[in-house]
Structure 1
Amino acid sequence: MSTDNAQDTLNELKVGDQTYHYYSLKKAAEQYGDITRLPFTLKVLLENQLRFQDGETATENDIQALVDWQQEAKSSHEIGYRPARVLMQDFTGVPGVVDLAAMRDAVAKLGEKPSRINPLSPVDLVIDHSVMVDDYGNPQAFEDNVKIEMERNLERYEFLRWGQQAFDNFRVVPPGTGICHQVNLEYLGKSVWTKEEDGKTFAFPDTLVGTDSHTTMINGLGVLGWGVGGIEAEAAMLGQPVSMVIPEVVGFKLEGKLREGITATDLVLTVTQMLRKRGVVGKFVEFYGDGLKDLPLADRATIANMAPEYGATCGFFPLDEETLNYMKLTGRSQEQIDLVKAYAREQGLWREPGHEPIFTDTLYLDMNEVEASLAGPKRPQDRVALTDMSSTFEKLLADQSKDASNQEENRWQGEGGSTAPFVDNSFDEEPNVDYKGEKFRLQDGAVVIAAITSCTNTSNPSVLMAAGLLAKKAVEKGLVSKPWVKTSLAPGSKVVTDYLATAGFQEPLNKLGFNLVGYGCTTCIGNSGPLPEPIDQAIQDESLTVASVLSGNRNFEGRIHPLVKTNWLASPPLVVAYALAGNVRIDISKDALGKDNSGNPVYLKDIWPSQKEIAEAVERVRSDMYRKEYAEVFDGDEAWQSIDITEGEVYEWSKDSTYIQHPPFFEGMDREPAPVEDVKEARVLARLGDSVTTDHISPAGSIKPDSPAGRYLQENGVAVKDFNSYGSRRGNHEVMMRGTFANVRIRNEMLDGVEGGFTRHVPSGEQMAIYDAAMKYAESDTPLVVIAGKEYGTGSSRDWAAKGTRLLGVRAVIAESYERIHRSNLIGMGVLPLQFPEGEDRNSLGLTGNETVSISGLSDIEPNAKVKVSITFEDGNSKEIDAVCSIFTANELAYFRHGGILHYVLRSML
């Protein structure tokens, strides 16, 4: 219930024949102070505090703190933020619904009505993460992959169909429709949201949190949103505010225009590199400057999408005429468009030429200076100019050869390397592969995967039309993709298929092997599917360092494919170009991609489309395409509609299911939490280095037959061919806890030169899988800790990176620094994140992983406080350090004390 002061800011806005009620920022400014130069993102947060002002979770002090932020352009004040809605994808959505179902069970056991557990905010779940590239390069690929997907995931989809009927405010977009962020951008997002309450229609900014880190894409549409862990998203949908400190806001000024031949992908890789270098973790980034006037909304969305890669909470573009143009193109109603313009102008949320808000810090980029780029081999922020690509790879090979034992540090930025141009003798030298009637020699640098994929680029008509144009010109010249390249096209929505076909580009793409394989994330999230057996075998037999080139946003080690050590992010047209070249050691900026029908060399410049050609192609994208494809977005195909639905408020768990199992999180839960116990003589489960990602921690990608998860599945009657991916099995904690810290590229520093999910069980000295060691420690009631370096938990908002950590018995993580979402997720699972004191780390302290660790004072721990950590070394000596508690707010502390955010929410609801 709003307070009297909040009611004073209530106002009416008439748009056409409709009257809207809204909380006026102009009236708030009269009470609390001028907000003309407050960043747009903070104005959105300010409106949120006004609308939910109740004297407790949103107060006058919170509102004043947002206004006063302008004085120093930063604040330490905590607020509770309530987004309008929640977006989920199926990998994180399934375990989210599993948790809700388990909460209903827990409520029933405590004698309450299960229906009390129900989303209070609208939730949209888009099934986009499950389709894999099993079949490719032929007209049947899409149909075959969808069929395989449905067979593999039937148990999960049955469960989601149950959730669709069991929960209110919960919609599911079926498989084979699109990627959640593109569906959000093209259809779900409204820029201004409305809600009926007490017979009135209220208007307010469209805001959301999502269970995927690339939820930030919607900021391109002027919608404030970012990724949170599945755990935090569940709390948000159950009405809990998202606890946050008012963030610093970094302004990024864009001016000028992209030069001829430069794409939005090149721009975003440049922006990502600049912002990572500046350091924006945990901060909002807001784009401004007169360059926005000519920056298409699809390009804005591409930049906003990669906020997780540059480390920011969000990358926001304010509302302006370009927003309205895009809304019109994508089939939004005229009433909605009129409302957005009227509301944004009235509230001071409309971008005016020359407007420069107050920012904590600023960066500047003249877009005319952007050059053609890729990023890799294992981090999105490591931009490489196209002209330097081949030499970069040669250095990488040289460094690997020069010092294999020190490979991790030297292979990326080493000295040396061959200066001689690479000569592709794949068809001249002794063959090591015989595949589909062709014999060739697979070499280092071979592009074995070329994928047009991911939400980042497949939402952008300009780069997709550029890929189509390049393919058309290549086919006309007689070029073909190399036979060792696994090619795929996975658009973010069916609209892409419509406009590629209308423009006449799908056919030439097909001729180069870029047939439609599915509508989903595919290769970008590791669902690249198997390589052909002869290719797979040659890589292993000769220990080749091969490459993938993808139009994605993530290229972390082991993510794209376990055998592909180097992964390069690139624009869709460059993906096609590298499929033609076949090797990243070829300098495609100056060397020939192949020969034409007359035997003459064909260069990239010969087939690269002009900006004029691209613009003319983009003009063929029409509103009716969007209206047609989204008219039945929630219906699904015949296979989806024929799934049997189990009804009832409480889910009927099946002990035989290997996809959906009742999680143990709420077992034995009482109405009141017990005091937090100190950690006594914990063992170190793993000693990890810098930039350990959630891909390293969380189960992701394929399941190895000889891994703990693989053994579990086989023991439960699942054939290896039916393993599916870790992501698809996130509803089964038995699989997921076995796959935690099991990434093939993770390096536990307790073991010398060993890659993969292994550790040393200290009492026995035996090397074993991390899961097996954790279970041995559990038998002796030994608590566990994880030691790590800088940027622990970088990457996707994988809730299982925290859930798995908790289920393995880890009580605390001690790291040098954390990425925002994973730190929050650890707290959300009752795991304590601690930071080494300044100037200390695992190396300076001489930690080997053989120590015991005790942590005291946890029953009365406070946010940001010092925490006593006692380390006892093998020789009996001990040392005490004052670690810093990385719990930042009172709300986070409450979650930790309750054993997790869902426990807190459940008890609060009771």
Structure 2
Amino acid sequence: MIPGRDTLKTKRELKVGARSYAIYSLKAAEEKIGDVARLPYSLKVLLENLLRFEDSRSVTTDDIAAFGDWLKKGRSDREIAYRPARVLMQDFTGVPAVVDLAAMRDAMKSLGHDPEKINPLAPVDLVIDHSVMVDYFRTPDAFRRNVEREYERNRERYQFLKWGQGAFDNFRVVPPGTGICHQVNLEYLAQTVWTAEREGETYAYPDTLVGTDSHTTMVNGLSVLGWGVGGIEAEAAMLGQPISMLIPEVIGFRLVGKLPEGSTATDLVLTVTEMLRKKGVVGKFVEFFGPGLDHLALEDQATIANMAPEYGATCGFFPIDEETLRYLRATGRSEERVALVEAYAKEQGLWRDSSGPEPVYTDTLELDLSTVTASLAGPKRPQDRVLLQKAPQSFAQALDKEYGLAGQKDKRVPVRGEDFDLGHGDVVIAAITSCTNTSNPSVMIAAGLLARNARKRGLAVKPWVKTSLAPGSQVVTDYLAKSGLQDDLDALGFNLVGYGCTTCIGNSGPLPGPISEAVNENNLAVCSVLSGNRNFEGRVSPDVRANYLASPPLVVAYAIAGSLNIDLTNDPVGKDDQGEDVYLKDIWPSNQEIAEAVRESVNAEMFAKRYADVFKGDELWRGVDAGDGQTYNWPPSTYVAKPPYFEGMTLEPAPVQPIENARILALFGDSITTDHISPAGSIKEDSPAGKYLKDHQTPVSEFNSYGSRRGNHEVMMRGTFANIRIKNLMLDGVEGGYTRHVPSGEQMAIYDAAMKYKAAGTPLVVIAGKEYGTGSSRDWAAKGTILLGVRAVIAESFERIHRSNLIGMGVLPLEFTKGQNWKALGLKGDEEITVHGVDSLEPRQTAKATIRFADGQATEIEVRVRIDTADELDYFRHGGILQYVIRKLAAA
């Protein structure tokens, strides 16, 4: 935290008890630039950031004055340089970021400069939470065995991360088996108001961050402004570079009323997600306000904030109020910190006061909480909310239209070696998983109470259902144990399998062999029900086509029912010991029961105890041999490899190479997600990545997942665009990562075609429809793209993070203009594309592109350059943000 020049003289003293803090006063700024009291709270946080870093260079007084202009218009075209207080990582995205830092040290050394200049300047916390897989389940020792297997698979990665913890300053690692990064952040790392020492003074300022996971937004429920960025942007933030952004539009979401009996925070967030997707909030802040906040626990607010990527917003922000203070106390924060948060928020106008005027927003929408009803979302998008009673119809429609299995609803097949059969719509995975819901005691306790009530009636989970419980922190285990509800969950097969992001990211583990055989040999469309935030096709399991998001108690209910074809609002969920029908309403706990159980089972001492030695780790972690040294020795590994980004790098950037006669690598439709682009899930034996691993003597049983191998570019580039459900529309009716190599006319893996083009010196482009790159940030969606030789992506529109990441790797994002798209232009994939003037681009300009068709005809179109800021243009001209940072640090 380096204060700037303070031209506006807004630095003041804040006394809290016996302590004094230096702050940059929003009230003082108001005197100089006009009334900003009615700015959205989230923009006040950005404004304070600019006041603190104003230096007449990267931040000017004109930038600050633009907030006053925003208040008049509700929007702004002003570019600002934003510096978050800290960076949060999870290990899947964190490993490649640390790999890049290590490679940057090597590059700095090869340029003749001090490698230790490459060091985080902002605090960085990396939480290892994405590597545990559900190999073992329904047994008391499932957790221990999964963790042991995790270390067997990932020891090379963990050695590397432990080396990084020792080599880099300002870098901490939360070891495996501790919790999900977002829940650890919410319960421990986040402070709401941050403090730092400089030149004998203690500065207080809003806690802000960026994270290498899109669900970093969860902590906005605790009034901590943060969102997900690519690992590339995160590395720049670590190294002291500002994040360039436009002052965002802010959509106010007014909440009134309170949740009715039987509705959960999950039902609420699925409703909010549906509403905001329809509204259209991509690239915008969403801020929640209104009297309904008086009836929402902070954990519920965090649940809503978590799913900002699903409703498309940069973040979903909740202001500081009494509930914020309650949560800080309840999770073991010090009274000194709580007092500072209250005093700072009230002094700075960041305190939500129901009696005061509401902020001015770009636009608003409203929800009456009393209208929220039980819901799911699926079968493949979080915004596709389905009322609980309509779930069977939702699946039947997908069976007919999505999967082409019309008329087969009643098809059932025997399962080898079992006394049951399996059919379309059967639930084969029921997982209580993911940061969204496992951070919320009310829905976790509700799941336990429903399990207890079901157990009392003699109900059991269907034998074909793979059940799992993966909480977000060890505190969840403590309160489930204290309440006795873990025994009830265990009895139904929801044994603890790990503390981490499991089913939601594709770490659901394999289905039992006979189940998998029955599904694949008979083309069954089976289902998963998970309490997560992502259900994109191909994500949860390669065997499961339909995936539905639901609250933890509904996950338990569907595990008992065993099928999406059952209407849980009217049909029995099962039969009791007496053969009598049992309905969901018979076992669903009341709101009062849930509240009492939470009150009796959750306390601050649990949080203080669990987080006392959070960085120490268990015996397995302490036994990892990390080595030392300021540069990494890069031992042979299929997990961690030195990337090629800096090969041949010079102190001055070379001119941008032209994009002439580029071939089209793929033609995509709308809503291509980063899950489609970036390698994720299991590695197939016959895939290019699988062949690479076999060539390096890795047995199939040790392939692990793409996510665990993100530190090896050779694996990841082979898995780019290789999702099993991706559809390259150059090919007719083909799913998976294939394309047509135009010169030969041969259909082949996208990686193989890209390497043929690269060998011939042919540049590549990707053509797509609307919302290209939605979903998780996934820096490998951009890294893999550039490593395949793709120079530009031309789409109808881009998701914010992916567009930024493409630029950060030196890939040019372009948008069709004048309502054009590739279908209207008649593209088939055998055309050649030339983009004119790539060496002289300016932010948001239009450029010309020539399309030469296979018959020799040509047409010229206009495209919009989606390099939005001057800083992004610098990154592009340097070949990427990392090259830009190295050159800047070398010159310092």
Check whether the contact 2:5–2:55 (CA below 8 A) recurs between aligned residues.
Answer: no
Distance 2:588 2:4 in 1: 61
Residue in 2 that maps onto 1:287: 288
How far apart are residue 136 of structure 1 and its match? 0.4
Q: What is the letter of the counterpart of residue 887 of structure 1? A: I
Alignment of 1:505-904 (within 5 A): 505-619=485-599, 620-654=601-635, 656-904=636-884
Residue in 1 that maps onto 2:22: 21
Distance 1:342 1:231 in 2: 36
Q: What is the letter of the counterpart of residue 630 of structure 1? A: Y
Residue in 1 that maps onto 2:441: 461
How far apart are residue 608 of structure 1 and its match? 0.3
Distance 1:581 1:3 in 2: 61
1:387 aligns with 2:389: yes
Check whether the contact 1:21–1:201 (CA below 8 A) recurs between aligned residues.
Answer: yes
How far apart are residue 677 of structure 1 and its match? 1.8
Check whether the contact 2:8–2:29 (CA below 8 A) recurs between aligned residues.
Answer: no
How far apart are residue 399 of structure 1 and its match? 2.7
Distance 2:143 2:398 in 1: 36
* Structure 1 residues 642 and 77: alpha-carbon distance in aligned structure 2, compared to 1, 3 A threshold: same
Distance 1:400 1:194 in 2: 52
Distance 1:768 1:4 in 2: 58
Check whether the contact 1:434–1:440 (CA below 8 A) recurs between aligned residues.
Answer: no
How far apart are residue 432 of structure 1 and its match? 1.1
Q: What is the letter of the counterpart of residue 363 of structure 2? A: D
Q: What is the letter of the counterpart of residue 781 of structure 2? A: A
Q: What is the letter of the counterpart of residue 501 of structure 1? A: A
Check whether the contact 2:4–2:52 (CA below 8 A) recurs between aligned residues.
Answer: no
The one-character-per-residue Cα deviations of 1:276-327 (angstroms, maximum 9, x if unpaired) are 0000000000000011012000000000000000000000000000000000
Distance 1:358 1:326 in 2: 27
- Of 362, 365, 379, the residue aligned with 1:363 is 365
What is the aligned residue count?
887
How far apart are residue 838 of structure 1 and its match? 2.4
The one-character-per-residue Cα deviations of 1:113-138 (angstroms, maximum 9, x if unpaired) are 11000000000000000000000011
Check whether the contact 2:36–2:67 (CA below 8 A) recurs between aligned residues.
Answer: no
Alignment of 1:35-114 (within 5 A): 35-114=36-115
What's the secondary structure of 1:838's corresponding residue? coil
1:118 aligns with 2:119: yes
Q: What is the letter of the counterpart of residue 750 of structure 1? A: M
1:433 aligns with 2:415: yes
Distance 1:740 1:8 in 2: 50
How far apart are residue 7 of structure 1 and its match? 6.3
How far apart are residue 400 of structure 1 and its match? 4.9
Identity fraction in percent = 67
Distance 2:491 2:438 in 1: 20
Distance 1:282 1:360 in 2: 13
Q: What is the letter of the counterpart of residue 490 of structure 1? A: A
What's the secondary structure of 1:524's corresponding residue? helix
Q: What is the letter of the counterpart of residue 140 of structure 1? A: D
Check whether the contact 1:446–1:547 (CA below 8 A) recurs between aligned residues.
Answer: yes
How far apart are residue 393 of structure 1 and its match? 1.2
Structure 1 gap segments, 5+ residues each = 405-410, 412-416
Check whether the contact 2:79–2:869 (CA below 8 A) recurs between aligned residues.
Answer: yes
Distance 2:67 2:708 in 1: 41
1:448 aligns with 2:449: no
How far apart are residue 839 of structure 1 and its match? 1.2
* Structure 1 residues 400 and 5: alpha-carbon distance in aligned structure 2, compared to 1, 3 A threshold: closer
Distance 2:181 2:445 in 1: 21
Distance 1:400 1:855 in 2: 37
How far apart are residue 396 of structure 1 and its match? 2.0
Check whether the contact 1:760–1:767 (CA below 8 A) recurs between aligned residues.
Answer: yes
Residue in 2 that maps onto 1:414: none
Residue in 2 that maps onto 1:328: 329
**TM-score, structure 2 normalization:** 0.98
Distance 1:743 1:27 in 2: 53
The one-character-per-residue Cα deviations of 1:717-738 (angstroms, maximum 9, x if unpaired) are 0000000000000000000000
Residue in 1 that maps onto 2:227: 226
What's the secondary structure of 1:442's corresponding residue? strand
The one-character-per-residue Cα deviations of 1:821-866 (angstroms, maximum 9, x if unpaired) are 0000000000000001121001000000000111110111011111
Distance 2:169 2:862 in 1: 47
Q: What is the letter of the counterpart of residue 250 of structure 1? A: I
The one-character-per-residue Cα deviations of 1:51-98 (angstroms, maximum 9, x if unpaired) are 001000111001000122101000000000000000000001000000
Distance 1:608 1:209 in 2: 38
Distance 2:817 2:291 in 1: 44
Distance 1:84 1:279 in 2: 29
Q: What is the letter of the counterpart of residue 374 of structure 1? A: L
Distance 1:582 1:116 in 2: 57
Distance 1:838 1:365 in 2: 35
* Structure 1 residues 861 and 543: alpha-carbon distance in aligned structure 2, compared to 1, 3 A threshold: same
How far apart are residue 3 of structure 1 and its match? 6.0
Distance 1:264 1:689 in 2: 33
How far apart are residue 563 of structure 1 and its match? 1.5
Residue in 2 that maps onto 1:377: 379
1:268 aligns with 2:269: yes
How far apart are residue 167 of structure 1 and its match? 0.2
Distance 1:515 1:6 in 2: 59
Residue in 2 that maps onto 1:408: none
The one-character-per-residue Cα deviations of 1:839-895 (angstroms, maximum 9, x if unpaired) are 100100000000011111011101111111110001000011011001100011110
The one-character-per-residue Cα deviations of 1:507-545 (angstroms, maximum 9, x if unpaired) are 110111100000000000000000000000000111001
What's the secondary structure of 1:231's corresponding residue? helix
What's the secondary structure of 1:884's corresponding residue? strand
Distance 1:123 1:91 in 2: 15
Distance 2:603 2:638 in 1: 44
Alignment of 1:108-507 (within 5 A): 108-354=109-355, 355-400=357-402, 432-434=414-416, 438-507=418-487
Check whether the contact 1:133–1:527 (CA below 8 A) recurs between aligned residues.
Answer: yes
Distance 2:401 2:207 in 1: 49
**TM-score, structure 1 normalization:** 0.96
What's the secondary structure of 1:270's corresponding residue? helix
Distance 2:641 2:96 in 1: 10
Q: What is the letter of the counterpart of residue 768 of structure 1? A: M
Which stretch shifts more, 1-10 or 355-364? 1-10
Check whether the contact 2:8–2:61 (CA below 8 A) recurs between aligned residues.
Answer: no
Which stretch shifts more, 734-743 or 4-13? 4-13
Check whether the contact 2:8–2:32 (CA below 8 A) recurs between aligned residues.
Answer: no
* Structure 1 residues 5 and 628: alpha-carbon distance in aligned structure 2, compared to 1, 3 A threshold: closer
Distance 2:597 2:878 in 1: 56
Check whether the contact 1:6–1:51 (CA below 8 A) recurs between aligned residues.
Answer: no
Distance 2:541 2:766 in 1: 27
Distance 1:292 1:879 in 2: 55
